[in-house]
Amino acid sequence: MKTASYFCSVKLYHNIRLLYTPVGFSAKRGKEMADIETVPNAAILTTEDGRIQAVGSFSEERPTSPPIPSEKRIEIEEIDCRGLVALPGFVDSHTHAVFYGERSEEFAMRAEGRSYQEIAGMGGGIRSSVEAVGQATKEEIAEYSRPFTRRALALGTTLMEIKSGYGLSLEAERKLLEAADIVSRETPMQIVKTFLGAHAVPRGRTQREYVESIVSEQLPSLYAMAEFCDVFMDEGYFSEDETVRICKRAKELGMKIKLHADELAETHGAETAVTLGAFSADHLLNVSDAGIRALSESEHTVATLLPITALSLRAAYAPARKLIDAGCAVALATDCNPGSSMSENMQFAVSLGVIAMQMSPAEALTAATLNGAAALDRARTHGTIEGGKMADFVLYDIPRLEYMPYHIAVSDIVAVVRGGSVVSGAL
Ligand code: NIG
Ligand code: FE
């Protein structure tokens, strides 16, 4: 590392053998998802506030003439990326990463042939995590959750959504959102919070009573603590009418919408998400043709696919190919949670996108970066390596982009850069 005089910048990451990125400030749909820019011998110039000033070939970024007046010169750090490959940081736009306690027993029960719904009916599932959260303090929950964000960062995730939803009462949902705040303060990763009070009906309450308490008690008290409101709209969870009621109230309070849609059964979830103007409809394992059409015609509803969940539940994968061919914007995320997807590994979600859902590596990269950012209303600031965006990128010791999903469940990451600084690994 050495320093040099340069105009208005703090760092120059150079000697990047190949840089791959989608480009743009909104989600890519359909065929456009495969449009990836490849820059050989790249350099990334970052600004003092952790954004990208410019991207190009190293030689192009060096000042030639006229010389910059000395009063405008500042010291910059040159960082040699030693011929590594740069990709944008992953955006994990769907996680339940604040929880307390694990459920590997249920995982083993599924291996014996029991279904997710059966296990939930036997007292496992979401409600068993709710009991564990009920016994813990926000500090204990944060302490339990912190290693997940630390590992996710080391695996290349630089922006992550975290949902509440294992509280299912005003105080316990607040506790989870506060735990997410603690985690957020302690990690260099950026966190976006979602309120998921409508994750299940807690023991001892009727469906009707609980929906009423979300609308009249939880949302009015907690809306300022989360940017998005999500509902688990599915068979055995929340109906279309209940979902619409909850989301309308959330929107009145200024929240944005996401939906768990058509995961366990086709319940008109995708269409409801589009009608509500949701930023994403997630899961979609059982989405109908009409749902695909609605998503393809939507203004900004991203189809967020969670293949690790399908793998973990031994369910059929979401129809990624059909969604992309219909012109939808598809994102990939982990769904990290203790029940249906115990993984914070975005690279593995990308591998499954390619292997199990027939996405090309380029489409899967767009899905895991720019389209994930769009699902979080962050496409203007995140998800690509280009001027004006956050300087969030990852350096890999790989020969080419395709190698990343091809090297299944093994990380070739050398360093993770978040907001212009190396925050995991080393160069
Ligand atoms: O996204 N589908 C709803 N919620 C989670 C599962 C939560 C759990 O089982 O703890 C999901 O798969
Ligand atoms: Fe989920």
**Tens-of-pLDDT digits for all 427 residues of the chain?**
444 444 445 899 999 999 999 999 999 999 999 999 999 999 999 999 999 999 998 665 454 455 556 666 678 899 999 999 999 999 999 999 999 999 999 999 999 999 998 999 998 999 999 999 999 999 999 999 999 999 999 999 999 999 999 999 999 999 999 999 999 999 999 999 999 999 999 999 999 999 999 999 999 999 999 999 999 999 999 999 999 999 999 999 999 999 999 999 999 999 999 999 999 999 999 999 999 999 999 999 999 999 999 999 999 999 999 999 999 999 999 999 999 999 999 999 999 999 999 999 999 999 999 999 999 999 999 999 999 999 999 999 999 999 999 999 999 999 999 999 999 999 9
Closest CA to 175 of 206, 132, 205: 132
**412 CA to centre of ligand 2 in angstroms:** 27
Determine which residue's CA is closest to atom 8 belonging to ligand 1: 339
Domains of the chain, earliest start first:
6-88+384-425 (2.30.40.10), 90-375 (3.20.20.140)
Determine the Cα–Cα distance for residues 68 and 62; give it in Å rounded to an integer: 12
Ligand 1 proximity of 232 Cβ (cutoff 6 Å): yes
Nearest-CA residue for ligand 1 atom 12 is 340
Bin 44: left if φ > 0, else alpha if -120 < ψ < 50, else beta. Answer: beta
Centre of ligand 1 from the C-alpha of residue 126, in Å: 7
Task: Report how far residue 112's alpha carbon sits from residue 107's, in angstroms, rounded to the nearest whole number.
Answer: 9
Q: Is 126 close to ligand 1, i.e. is its CB under 6 Å away?
A: yes
Q: How far apart are CA 16 and CA 19, in angstroms?
A: 7
Q: Does the C-beta of 309 come closer than 6 Å to ligand 1?
A: yes
| 43 strand-pairing partners | 56
For the chain, what percentages of helix, strand and coil (3-state, to nearest 5) are there? 40, 25, 35
Ligand nearest to the CA of 313: 1
- Taking the CA atoms of the chain, what radius of gyration do you get in angstroms? 22
Question: Is any atom of ligand 1 closer than 6 Å to the C-beta of 384?
Answer: no
Closest Cα partner for 251 from 263, 261, 243?
A: 243
Best CA proximity match to 285, nearest among 352, 230, 227, 342: 352
Cα–Cα distance measured from residue 225 to residue 231, given in angstroms and rounded to the nearest whole number: 16
124 lines ligand 1 (CB under 6 A): no
Ligand 1 atom having least distance to the Cα of 120: 9
69 alpha carbon – ligand 2 mean position (Å)? 54
Total length of the chain: 427
**Among all ligands shown, which has an atom nearest to the Cα of 340?**
1
The model's pTM: 0.95
Give the distance (Å) from ligand 2 centre to CA of residue 334: 9
Please state, in angstroms and rounded to a whole number, the distance separating the CA atoms of residues 106 and 276. Answer: 34
d(CA 266, CA 319) in angstroms, rounded, equals 13
- 129 close to ligand 1 (CB < 6 Angstrom): yes
